Amino acid sequence: MSSRELSCFLCREMLYEFAIHALDERRASSVKKHVSTCRDCLQILQDHERATKHLEELASSKISLKAVQDLKEKHRLISHNVGWRRLPESLRWGLEALVAALVVAASFHFGSQWWANRKVQKADDVVLAEVETLPGEAGQSQNFPEDTLAEADIEADEESGGAPEVTEPTQHSDEVGNESVAGPGLHHAGTDVVETENVQVAEAPPQPEYVVPQTPLVLALNPPTSPQPVAVKPSPSPAQQVPTPATMVMNSAPPPSPAAQEGGFVYRMAMSVKGIDAVTPKVIEKIMELGGQKAGQVQLGWKKPGGSYFHFTMPEAGFTPLMTHLRSFAQVRHSKDPHKRVMPAGTIRIILWVEELEPPKPSVQPITEPDVQQGEVMPPETEVPNATEEAPQTTEENE
Amino acid sequence: MSDTQIKSVALFFFFAFFDEQRAIELTSKTLKLVRKQARDSEIDTNALIVRIAQKIFAKEASRRELPPPPQDLNVFQIPEAISLGHLHALRKRITIEEFGCLLWTKVFALPEATVALGFDTTIGTVRHRTSNALKSLGQQLPHEGPPA
């Protein structure tokens, strides 16, 4: 069987394979026969051989050992770095899950701490007074914080709430006094029944900074709640009653415990003046002059919708000068109420409400007893024993 | 990877870019990628080297212009009988695929099947590209004498 003559195109297509001996015998013989007769195709074949020879010589090129070593060192470092992938897949997944769980747990832990701290900082924590408990009596004063919180609620309402309520006087058959008692917080004055025999007043210096307590008492004020007026029952012992004309006795509250009788007091005052904007700075100045310092959070003379609010502590000796000063503006209605918060010896706490004097409404007439005598101004040194014996009492001053 | 493979990759990039420093850098990069992909790929290491090196070659070739062949060599040693000028001219004349097939099959003597696997093409394509490159190179080389 004679082979067909190859064209130059077909021959050149097979020249490379002919050069590398990749053609079968029949095609190889055809290419060989064509190349022997075609100078162009032969030239191309020779170019192939020459180039192949040139490349074989080029293959003998070398690279310095140092460069190879450097590349291998880099390669080893890379292998070391990616050694993680050589671990079993289950182990890798386990470690990754562990890391993820730790991250989540840490986030939750720190997040909850942050949230708790944020809530604590937002709460109205006020340290009004710090008392020192005797070491042996720590267990007996366990009910103190609850009472303190209750009082804290009341004062928080006074200081952060709206305008203080001026209540109408409570009428009762035993009521005495010819003028109603009005003032901030007076409606619940004397309603606290506390046991304070477990709490002793620390031996504190005259300044308001108190003795560093063994168990510092921090009052966490809850959101203000509306105080519930509670009537007060008179003292059970008639012998202890002092016939004070301006004493209002109410019968609905439980009798104060001995602890309350031995507890502290708070002076509540109220007065209506003309030109409150001018009076308030003078009152502040006088309080400061007498050594008074603000108690609670608000400053002295805190402006409220109906007047100015003063909550402060001062030396007991300054009470009379303060009353004298206040009377120069207007009549002062005041009461000395028992309070579970015990102030250091020689220091008293006063809540004063000064409001703008408004013309009295003819329709509202206070009901007075015909034989009620006018109230007396009771200096603190004389009120303490009375109030101690008759805890729920309210003193009216009428000048 | 063996020293031969490292040497082949380094020479490949040197012949491709005629720059020793660049050849070393690209060799390191290629070895890193080959080491990384060798675990997840079942392909032959030589074919993987061809594939990665050719990808880097194509990518880097489009970034920079080809410099002239260096006069002094520090890292690589080229036989004195060989002139890099012919290869440099060939690099400009033919495609990078043809140039790659020529180097891998003729200089580094890799099997055509491996090169075809590395290029993800057929052996016929590799032969065709190599043939064209050889033909171009042969036309540049000086004739040693009258054809037989």
Average pLDDT over residues A57-67: 84
Tokens, residue B46: 């030589």
Q: Which residue has better confidence, A330 or A226?
A: A330
What pLDDT is attached to residue A262? 61
Q: What DSSP letter does each residue of A268-296 carry, written as one string?
A: EEEEEES-HHHHHHHHHHHHHHTT-EE-S
Contact A351, A158 (CB under 8 A): yes
A residues 59-98 closer than 8 Å to B (CB): 59-64, 67-68, 70-72, 74-75, 78-79, 82, 85
- On whether any CB of chain B is under 8 Å from the CB of A10, the answer is no
Average pLDDT over residues A390-397: 40
Residue of B nearest to A84 (CA): B36
Helix (H) or strand (E) holding A90: helix A89-122
Size of interface A-B (CB pairs under 8 A): 114
Q: Do B77 and A74 touch (CB under 8 A)?
A: no
Give the CA angle between residues A111, A117, A123 to the nearest 5°: 140
CA distance B64 to chain A (A): 24
Residue A181 has pLDDT above 80, yes or no: no
Cα(B82)–Cα(A379) distance, rounded to whole angstroms? 122
Going by pLDDT thresholds of 50, 70 and 90, the confidence category of residue A70 is: confident
- On whether any CB of chain A is under 8 Å from the CB of B81, the answer is yes
Structure pTM?
0.43
Going by pLDDT thresholds of 50, 70 and 90, the confidence category of residue B118 is: very high
Going by pLDDT thresholds of 50, 70 and 90, the confidence category of residue A77 is: low
Across chain B, how many H-helices and E-strands are there?
Answer: 7, 1
Q: Which residue has better confidence, B83 or A123?
A: B83
Cα(A35)–Cα(A47) distance, rounded to whole angstroms? 13
- Lowest-confidence segment of A296-310, A374-388, B99-113 by average pLDDT: A374-388
Residue A106 has pLDDT above 90, yes or no: yes
Name the one residue in this structure whose structure tokens are 């897949």: A89
Cα(A307)–Cα(A355) distance, rounded to whole angstroms? 4
Cα(A302)–Cα(A305) distance, rounded to whole angstroms? 10
What pLDDT is attached to residue A85? 64
Q: Do B31 and A42 touch (CB under 8 A)?
A: no
Contact A235, A241 (CB under 8 A): yes
- CA dihedral of B101, B107, B109, B115, whole degrees rounded to 10: -20
Contact A256, A392 (CB under 8 A): yes
Residue of A nearest to B12 (CA): A59
Cα(B45)–Cα(A183) distance, rounded to whole angstroms? 96
pLDDT tens digits along A340-382: 888 888 888 899 999 888 765 555 454 444 444 444 444 444 3
Mean pLDDT of chain A: 66
Name the one residue in this structure whose structure tokens are 């009901």: A367
Q: Which residue has better confidence, A40 or B80?
A: A40
Cα(A30)–Cα(A275) distance, rounded to whole angstroms? 130
Q: What share of chain A is helix, strand, coil (3-state, %, to 5)?
A: 45, 15, 45
Average pLDDT over residues A118-146: 51
Cα(A166)–Cα(A268) distance, rounded to whole angstroms? 12
- On whether any CB of chain A is under 8 Å from the CB of B2, the answer is no
Residue A2 has pLDDT above 50, yes or no: yes
Going by pLDDT thresholds of 50, 70 and 90, the confidence category of residue B75 is: confident
pLDDT tens digits along B20-40: 888 888 998 898 888 888 877
Nearest to A58 among B74, B107, B144 (CB): B107
What pLDDT is attached to residue A274? 84
- On whether any CB of chain A is under 8 Å from the CB of B127, the answer is yes
Q: Provide, as residue numbers in chain A, all residues whose Cβ is less than 8 Å from the Cβ of B3.
A: 68, 72
What pLDDT is attached to residue A128? 56
Residue A309 has pLDDT above 60, yes or no: yes
What pLDDT is attached to residue A158? 52
Cα–Cα distances in angstroms (integers) from residue A107 to residues A95, A104, A111, A234, in the given order? 18, 5, 6, 58
For residue A154, give the nearest of A122, A194, A117, A119 by alpha carbon: A194
Q: What are the start-end ranges of the E strands in B2-148?
A: 76-77
Going by pLDDT thresholds of 50, 70 and 90, the confidence category of residue A240 is: very low
Residue A223 has pLDDT above 70, yes or no: no
Q: Do A82 and B108 touch (CB under 8 A)?
A: no
- On whether any CB of chain A is under 8 Å from the CB of B77, the answer is yes
Paired sense of beta strands A347-356 and A264-273, if any = parallel
- On whether any CB of chain A is under 8 Å from the CB of B15, the answer is yes
- CA dihedral of A246, A251, A253, A258, whole degrees rounded to 10: 70
Residue A100 one-letter amino acid: A
Q: Provide, as residue numbers in chain B, all residues whose Cβ is less than 8 Å from the Cβ of A35.
A: none
What pLDDT is attached to residue B117? 92
Mean pLDDT of chain B: 87
How big is chain B by its Cα radius of gyration, in Å?
15
- On whether any CB of chain A is under 8 Å from the CB of B11, the answer is yes
- On whether any CB of chain A is under 8 Å from the CB of B40, the answer is no
What pLDDT is attached to residue B105? 92
Question: What percentage of chain A carries pLDDT values higher than 90?
Answer: 8
What pLDDT is attached to residue B115? 93
What pLDDT is attached to residue A71? 78
- CA dihedral of A99, A101, A107, A112, whole degrees rounded to 10: -150
Going by pLDDT thresholds of 50, 70 and 90, the confidence category of residue A261 is: low
Report helix, strand or coil for A355: strand
Report for A97-111, A227-241, A245-259, A298-312: range of highest mean pLDDT? A97-111
Query: Which residues neighbour A170 within 8 Å (Cβ) at sequence distance 6 or greater?
Result: A187, A231, A248, A250
- On whether any CB of chain A is under 8 Å from the CB of B73, the answer is no
CA diameter of chain B: 54
Tokens, residue B109: 């003597």
CA distance A119 to chain B (A): 51
Q: Do A47 and B135 touch (CB under 8 A)?
A: yes
**Dihedral sign of CA atoms A240, A141, A266, A393 in order:** negative
